[in-house]
Chain A
């Protein structure tokens, strides 16, 4: 078996046409997932069981099932219900891209909320006591002490989740979406050259991952500036 370099050079531009979709899936579900994660986090740490329990149940369900299955349920399963077809969400859920974004958002939200909770729990209790002793309210302490420190503590695990989300976007190709992986699969079907095509696809994802790693590295160094003696 030979390795066809020209095939790679021809197919790379085609796959790169899917970058837009891949990035859209990543950025939109990453952003919405983060908002969902913060909401779940606030429910988890509210100290109110009627907020905490539903959030725990939600997190359990979405961490306990494969994301591919979640995508299939949302894409194939939900349209069977008339209530869904009649709802305001239908114009999102009838598009495969909408379904993929919903699934990725719901999934990453569950993971990220637990990452953030780890950060919140990592904040030194003494700092919150100092805040109380100074007369700061619970909200003040959360906004000015807990949030900035928990953000820094969560960042390494969070960047890991974003990279993992990038790769989960490839699952969208299973529901007809022409992201980079979707396009690669079409090319493979036409050319019968899975080896060349999928290896170049893998390299494209690696380049993206490298970019994300660098970006988070910069943010980590910025947020960690006060943890270094040399400033």
Chain B
């Protein structure tokens, strides 16, 4: 359908003038965003600024009210087949891990492969073990999520997303629910993914991660994208007053 040059120059994620309301409250205002293959985007901003809402619109966990969202050439509308197609390309990692508590770690990684990709059980288990090794916890395969530490659970959640072989992974504050000593083990996995060329959109306040990994840092406030720039520019030379205030707050401690 598309020519080679098209897929290489076309953004994987394209949002055009996207607006999102919760009742009368406008959570996203005229969002324009393009993310290209292999890019790593970090989104930061104060609580309630719409970061989660923005990335949740990308895989249709939230419906936008107007504007266009086009993921790898597929526009998100009410059409269920298109939503399914987009969700097959987009993985997501949540702040609260959201592992299925009643399934073993291996089963957590296998279930969607078996149901959605129709992968046979043995093959699904093989893929699950591959990614558990990648996040360095293959020995936990037959335990239940509750038996793992928070950091281990989040690594499992990343492995679960990877098992579906997504083009893009969305991270919504993946380290915010973790005890401080577990943050690095999760960030290490994310850095490893980034080196591998994965397209990533990360909502996070880990500024060290943003500085070393991000191609672009986006600052949101009150539902708007206020500023976006390369990390060096963003941190050392922010333009907008709201960005400066925010950076002062989070970098001062």
Contact = CB atoms under 8 A, between A and B. Distances in A.
A140 interface: yes
Nearest to A128: B98
Interface residues of B, number: 30
Interface in A124-153: 124, 126-127, 129-137, 140, 144-145, 148-149, 152
Contacts of A77: none
A144 B160 CA distance: 16
A87 interface: no
Given A144-B115, A228-B146, A229-B147, A133 B101 contact: no
B61 A136 contact: no
A129 B94 contact: yes
Interface in A22-71: none
A195 to B, nearest CB: 50
A3 interface: no
A133 B96 contact: no
Contacts of A152: 102
Nearest to A227: B146
Given A130-B98, A136-B115, A229 B61 contact: no
B239 to A, nearest CB: 34
Nearest to B145: A226
Given A132-B87, A133-B87, A229 B164 contact: no
Given A132-B61, A135-B164, A152-B102, A144 B111 contact: yes
B83 to A, nearest CB: 9
Given A130-B94, A231-B143, A231-B147, A135 B116 contact: yes
Interface of B: 59-61, 84, 87-88, 90-92, 94, 96, 98-103, 111-112, 115-116, 143-147, 157, 160-161, 164
Going nearest first, the 6 A-B pairs with the smallest beta carbon separation are A134-B112, A130-B98, A133-B92, A226-B144, A135-B116, A135-B87
16 contacts: A124-B98, A126-B96, A127-B100, A130-B94, A130-B99, A131-B100, A132-B59, A133-B92, A135-B84, A135-B164, A140-B116, A145-B100, A226-B144, A226-B146, A227-B101, A229-B146
